[in-house]
Amino acid sequence: MATAPATSRNFAGSRGLTPEERKVIFASSLGTVFEWYDFYLYGSLAAIIAKQFFAGTDPQTGFIFALLAFAAGFIVRPFGALVFGRLGDMIGRKYTFLVTIVIMGSSTFIVGLLPSYASIGIAAPVILIALRILQGLALGGEYGGAATYVAEHAPDDKRGAFTAWIQTTATMGLFLSLLVILGTRTAIGEAAFADWGWRVPFLVSVFLLAVSVWIRLSMSESPAFAKMKAEGKTSKAPLTEAFAQWKNAKIVILALVGLTAGQAVVWYTGQFYALFFLTQTLKVDGPTANILIAASLLLGTPFFIIFGSLSDKIGRKMIIMAGCLIAALTYFPIFSGLTHFANPALERALKNAPVVVVADPASCHFQFNLTGQKKFTSSCDIAKQFLAASSVNYTNETAPAGSVAKIKIGDKELPAFDAKLTADKLNFDADSKKQEGEFKKQAGDAIKAAGYPAKAEPIPLGSSNWWMILGLLFILVLYVTMVYGPIAAMLVEMFPTRIRYTSMSLPYHIGNGWFGGLLPTTAFALVAFKGDIYYGLWYPIIIALMTFVVGMLFVKETKDNDIYAAD
């Protein structure tokens, strides 16, 4: 794209924000906060939703289906980017992302009213999954619209600062959802919350929706799109122009591989995977982990604006690349530090009580389970599943072909078992269930005797360990702000006005919906494969390093690009 002459746009340098600019930023950011709030509610309440809507299966399978329904929202995001991106480039930014928020908010509100499996049977999970797909489609269209709308209103020298407010919204939405859930739980108690109180956060979203719609209805179309439409230069086929013409398609590919893929894994590692690691691996109690994550988000959120503003001065690319590189180089020591301060007993056990899995390598599989419908039933897989879920590191030792896997814990040897499935292929049969229970009890007693704790000791609020954990989590969030703060402005600046909404939305949502959304599943599979609680970190490290290399070599700086060019 061409570089804009200095006189092409007003420069905000010494003046403050105008009332109209404040309204644009506030309306776009507020609506997106609410959309992310809606989206995260489901993930936070997946265990309760499994009991309410997937009661026709056993608890474990029900939870898997609930997570699958959550994942559906991520998987369809790129399709939402295509649908709403095309509309945004053809009919306008304002009305398109007004539609997305209505779809998102309405779907969330209906979840709060939806009868459970006990009331309407199989229709309950079917409707729930349909609503999740609608949410994902809407979110796929929302971000591109909000970022494009704000960027096209921003002065040239403050585009990074303006769009950085959009970048705070995912974190603020997550924070708001945690706050409402914790507040409701505290107010009515756990029993009432599990019974009916979980619906309250979903129902509250209707008020957030009403405020967002009211504000967005009063907004005007972006000046760049309005000018292009008045001149009759809008695209008649945005998808064809964006992806079928190589001059633009190659930029879409670079935006994905050289920017958003690395940004996504850093973002998910710093917020979602950190929470997963605290609760599932280190066995920290949920309320403590949520408070620590929420506090780190609160401390880190201003840095979205700081790095967005800094990118207006020194450029977007170097900040994003630095975030990817520093994150990749420091993830292992940071997560080791989390173990040291959050669960020192586990750290000692990992060091002093080595565990060995003795198995036929042919019976050991890479347990990547995207859909939740695949069962890993060999004795090796069952043994490794148990150890990975128990946060136990292990090494592998080769056994004769066809033999049943064994776990060596100190001087004890425990044989696993080969499971058989029922007709639905989702559950173990009765005999396998019995063997599973016996195996888990014996193995659980053995690892407990070896010093592996069932859960972390309480971490008192304000204790030295509490502050150290918060400090490490804050560093992870700081990396998030480096890669995420400037990226909206950079994506907007990479593409011409006539196909901007479509072009920037797709790489963003493939990066965040697929590369980022697959992080927990991939990380668990890597941990079970290798027998190392930190091995899952290789996924974000490799993706972040890939983005660093591609970005440094092939992605150009964009801060001086003319975003008002139609082609």
Residue 260 has pLDDT above 70, yes or no: yes
| For residues 154-165, average pLDDT | 88
Residue 515 has pLDDT above 80, yes or no: yes
Distances (CA, A) of 57 to 15, 41, 72, 324, 332: 61, 23, 19, 41, 38
Percent of the chain at pLDDT exceeding 90: 32
Query: Among 46, 438, 96, 51, which residue's Cα sits nearest to residue 279?
Result: 46
Query: Among 354, 314, 338, 352, which residue's Cα sits nearest to residue 490?
Result: 314
Residue 5 has pLDDT above 50, yes or no: no
Residue-wise pLDDT for 175-204, tens only, equals: 788 889 888 988 998 889 988 999 999 998
Residue 6 has pLDDT above 50, yes or no: no
Distances (CA, A) of 466 to 32, 281, 296, 476, 517: 31, 17, 12, 16, 28
Residue 79 has pLDDT above 80, yes or no: yes
Q: Which of 60-69, 236-245, 297-306 has the lowest mean pLDDT?
A: 60-69
Burial 345-373 (b: 16+ CB within 10 A, else e): ebbebbeebebebbbbeebbbebebeebe
Q: What's the rounded Cα separation, in Å, for the pair 195 and 188?
A: 11
- CA 542-543-546 angle, to 5 degrees, is 85
Q: What's the rounded Cα separation, in Å, for the pair 317 and 561?
A: 13
Using an 8 Å Cβ cutoff, are 275 and 290 in contact? Answer: yes
Type of residue found at 411: D
Q: Which of 156-170, 190-204, 550-564 has the lowest mean pLDDT?
A: 156-170
What does the chain come to in residues?
A: 567
Q: What's the rounded Cα separation, in Å, for the pair 480 and 269?
A: 9
Type of residue found at 210: A
Neighbours of 329 (CB within 10 A): 12
Exposed / middle / buried, residue 448 (Cβ in 10 Å: 0-12, 13-18, 19+): middle
Q: What's the rounded Cα separation, in Å, for the pair 415 and 487?
A: 51
Q: What is the DSSP letter of 357?
A: E
In terms of pLDDT, which residue wins out, 489 or 425? Answer: 489
* Residues 6 or more apart in contact with residue 338 via CB below 8 angstroms: 274, 277, 278, 282, 469, 472, 473
- CA 299-157-84 angle, to 5 degrees, is 75
Q: Which of 202-211, 344-353, 463-472, 537-546 has the lowest mean pLDDT?
A: 202-211
Residue-wise pLDDT for 377-420, tens only, equals: 899 988 888 888 888 888 889 989 989 999 998 778 889 888 88
Residue-wise pLDDT for 102-152, tens only, equals: 888 888 899 899 998 888 888 888 888 888 888 888 888 877 778 888 888
| For residues 359-377, average pLDDT | 77
Q: Please write down the long-range contacts of 124-133, taking CB distance under 8 Å and 24 or more positions apart.
A: 124/52, 124/53, 125/53, 125/54, 125/56, 125/65, 125/69, 128/49, 128/53, 128/69, 129/69, 129/72, 131/107, 132/42, 132/69, 132/70, 132/72, 132/73, 132/107, 133/72, 133/73, 133/76
Confidence band of 296 (pLDDT split at 50, 70, 90) = very high
Question: Which pLDDT belongs to residue 132?
Answer: 84
Question: Which pLDDT belongs to residue 65?
Answer: 65
Q: What's the rounded Cα separation, in Å, for the pair 18 and 411?
A: 73
Residue-wise pLDDT for 503-514, tens only, equals: 888 888 888 878
In terms of pLDDT, which residue wins out, 81 or 538? Answer: 538
Question: Which pLDDT belongs to residue 235?
Answer: 67
What is the DSSP track for 94-113? HHHHHHHHHHHHHHHHHHHH
Q: What domains appear along the chain, each with residue ranges and CATH number?
A: 19-341+460-554 (1.20.1250.20), 348-449 (3.40.30)
Query: Among 199, 181, 183, 184, which residue's Cα sits nearest to residue 53?
Result: 199
What is the DSSP track for 520-560? HHHHHHHHHHHT-TTGGGHHHHHHHHHHHHHHHHHPPP-TT
Question: Which pLDDT belongs to residue 366?
Answer: 82
Query: Among 356, 355, 386, 374, which residue's Cα sits nearest to residue 425?
Result: 374
Residue-wise pLDDT for 434-445, tens only, equals: 898 899 899 889
Q: What's the rounded Cα separation, in Å, for the pair 230 and 223?
A: 10
In terms of pLDDT, which residue wins out, 48 or 319? Answer: 319
What is the DSSP track for 12-55? -TTS---HHHHHHHHHHHHHHHHHHHHHHHHHHTHHHHHHHH-T
Using an 8 Å Cβ cutoff, are 53 and 45 in contact? Answer: no
* Residues 6 or more apart in contact with residue 54 via CB below 8 angstroms: 61, 62, 63, 65, 66, 117, 125
Residue 549 has pLDDT above 90, yes or no: yes
* Residues 6 or more apart in contact with residue 217 via CB below 8 angstroms: 98
Residue 60 has pLDDT above 60, yes or no: no
Could you give the 3-state DSSP secondary structure of residue 138? helix
Please count the CA atoms within 13 angstroms of the CA of 424 that sit on its side-chain side.
9
Summary mean pLDDT of the chain? 84
Most confident of the ranges 55-64, 90-99, 143-152, 481-490: 481-490
Residue 44 has pLDDT above 80, yes or no: no
- Phi and psi at 222, nearest 5°, equal -65, 140
In terms of pLDDT, which residue wins out, 528 or 424? Answer: 528
Burial 488-507 (b: 16+ CB within 10 A, else e): bbbbbbbbbbbbbbbbbbbb
Strands lying side by side in the sheet with 406-409: 395-398, 355-359, 406-409, 412-415
Which residues on adjacent β-strands are paired with residue 395?
356
Confidence band of 62 (pLDDT split at 50, 70, 90) = low
What is the DSSP track for 268-286? HIIIIIHHHIIIIIS---H
Question: Which pLDDT belongs to residue 496?
Answer: 85
Residue 9 has pLDDT above 60, yes or no: no
* Residues 6 or more apart in contact with residue 336 via CB below 8 angstroms: 534
Residue 7 has pLDDT above 60, yes or no: no
Tell me the pTM. Answer: 0.83
